[in-house]
Amino acid sequence: MDPPGRGGRRRARRPAHHRRARGTRGPAQGERPAQAGERDPADRLGFFRRAARPDPAQVTALFTEHPHLEVEPTLRELHIASSTYYRWRQAETEPCERLRRDAELTEQIKEIHTESGGIYGSPRVHAVLKREGVHVGRKRVERLMREADLAGISPRRTGFTRRDPKATPAPDLVMRDFTAPVPNRLWVTDLTMIPTGEGPLWLSAIRDAFSRRVVAWETSARADADLVLTSLEYALASREVEPGRLIHHADHGCQYTSVKLTTRLVRAGIEASMGSVGDSYDNALAENLWMVIKTECVRGRVFATRAEANLALFEYIDGFYNPRRIQKRLGYLSPIEFEEKHYADQAAAEPVNLKPSQPALTS
């Protein structure tokens, strides 16, 4: 008895190697079929992977580069709605508000990055935008900088020191606590070398632990006691130091254990302090300054003369670092701004005598 169904007969099932997927076309007569690992040239124009989401930029570029293609038939082959395609075209000529805002922010970011000499990364760029009243997320700044191929620069550690084994070092009065409640309570100092075409240029600098400001610096062709003494004299001339209230912290370099420097410290009423031997962490705040200067001022530059390097240091330290370079530990203020804020807050906190003075009584 025949099984139930139309006509009462069942069609014979074809062998598996004769069957093909629904919606696909077999190769025409004389056409070589696609081999394993090859893309079928008739499959969706060979432009996108099967089931892949079309990229708007690729679709619009397809018609731009091949103007002979008819839009509607090609979109049907790509399974893209006409309204979607024309919306993509409109977005290219009339970008949405977010894209326009991204373009504006990118220009502001580029300006800030350029003014910093290419130094600032996304955290400092974001802080500057915030200071200027621009409300934008940090992640958005990171994305826009990445898309604009902008990046900050990272430091490298370097250092130079030479100890005098006969000298008696001062005790460590800091113990790695590089903080101070007010200016001129803790100064850290060190030496570093900058190569030039004329030979090494030695840089001595003194940094205030309160504001991280470079209070004095000097350069010389020789790394001797006169160099560190000169930088100390400049610091004393530019700051108001109370005798017995300031610590001068250095490493065990022979320049800092010299009689010239130790005698001048005693005369100024400054306590000398030194970290342990061969441990950069005991003078980390001074080492950090060298990383910053080498990274942001020296790296990638070749100085033909010592005078050229000296000018670059002047432009960086006095023209950028002290007055303009914002720092996270200072609340994204520059060292000078941080000190000015401290003195302004101090003046505002001082009590003001509003009681009028009484005239003296005469008989």
SS3 62: helix
Beta bridge partners of 220: 202
pLDDT for res 344: 94
Average pLDDT over residues 258-279: 86
What is the predicted pLDDT for the residue at 60?
Answer: 79
pLDDT of 356 strictly over 80: no
State the pLDDT at residue 44. 44
**Taking CA 113 as the corner, what is the angle to CA 112 and CA 119, rounded to the nearest 5 degrees?**
130
Cα dihedral 63→67→70→76 (10° resolution): -10
Q: What is the mean pLDDT of residues 171-191?
A: 92
* Residue 2: pLDDT band with limits 50, 70, 90: low
For all residues of the chain together, what is the average pLDDT? 80
Mean pLDDT of 319-336: 94
- High-pLDDT (> 90) share of the chain, %: 35
Residues in the chain: 363
Mean pLDDT of 291-312: 92
DSSP, collapsed to helix, strand or coil, labels residue 200 as: strand
Q: Which long-range contacts (CB under 8 A, 24 or more apart) does 304-308 make?
A: 304/196, 304/197, 304/198, 305/196, 305/197, 305/198, 306/196, 306/198, 306/199, 306/201, 306/219, 306/221, 308/196
Q: Which candidate, 115, 118, 113, places its Cα nearest to that of 126? A: 113
Express each pLDDT in 44-84 by its tens digit. 445 555 555 677 778 878 888 888 888 888 888 888 888 88
Q: What is the per-residue pLDDT for 97?
A: 76
Domain boundaries defined on the chain: 56-93, 97-148, 186-343
Do 291 and 190 contact (CB within 8 A), yes or no? no
Backbone dihedral angles phi then psi of residue 291, each to the nearest 5 degrees: -60, -45
Range name among 38-42, 83-87, 95-99, 287-291 with the lowest pLDDT average = 38-42
Tokens representing residue 56 in the block? 């708007």
Protein fold of 186-343: Nucleotidyltransferase; domain 5 (3.30.420)
Task: Report pLDDT for 163.
Answer: 55
Distance CA 206, CA 232 (A): 7
Strand order in the sheet with 270-274: 214-220, 199-208, 186-196, 246-250, 270-274
